[in-house]
C-alpha cells in the first residue's frame, strides 16, 4: 500500500481526529490546572505572608501568559484542522446523461 493511499484512508482520518481530540483535551486540562495554580498563588499564598512585588510578579505574569499561548495555539489549530477535515468535499467524476 503506497503512502498516498495510506493517508487517504478512512481509518487514518479517524486516528488523526482521535489524536487531535486527545491533544485538545490535554491542552484544556493544562489550561485548567494553570488557572488553579494561578488561583493558589493569588489567594492562598498571601495568607502565608507573600508580599506583592513587581520583581517577581512581572516575570510570573509573563510566563503565565506564554503558557496560555503555548497551550492555546495548538488547541486552536487542532480545532481548525478537525473542522477543515469535516468540511472537505469529495469530488465525484461527472456522470454522462443517459440518452
Identify the pLDDT of residue 49: 83
pTM listed for this prediction: 0.68
C-alpha cell at 62: 509573563
How far apart (Å, rounded) are the C-alpha atoms in residues 54 and 61? 10
Domain boundaries along the sequence of the chain: 3-86
C-alpha cell at 11: 481509518
pLDDT in tens, the chain (99 residues): 555 565 567 777 888 888 999 999 999 999 999 999 888 887 887 888 888 889 888 999 999 999 999 999 999 999 888 888 777 655 556 666 666
Amino acid at each position: 500500500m503506497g503512502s498516498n493511499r495510506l493517508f487517504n484512508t478512512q481509518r487514518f482520518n479517524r486516528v488523526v481526529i482521535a489524536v487531535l481530540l486527545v491533544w485538545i483535551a490535554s491542552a484544556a486540562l493544562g489550561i485548567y490546572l494553570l488557572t488553579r495554580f494561578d488561583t493558589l498563588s493569588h489567594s492562598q499564598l498571601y495568607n502565608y505572608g507573600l508580599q506583592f512585588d513587581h520583581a517577581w510578579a512581572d516575570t510570573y505574569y509573563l510566563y503565565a501568559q506564554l503558557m496560555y499561548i503555548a497551550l492555546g495555539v495548538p488547541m486552536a489549530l487542532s480545532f481548525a484542522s478537525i473542522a477543515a477535515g469535516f468540511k472537505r468535499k469529495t469530488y465525484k467524476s461527472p456522470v454522462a446523461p443517459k440518452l
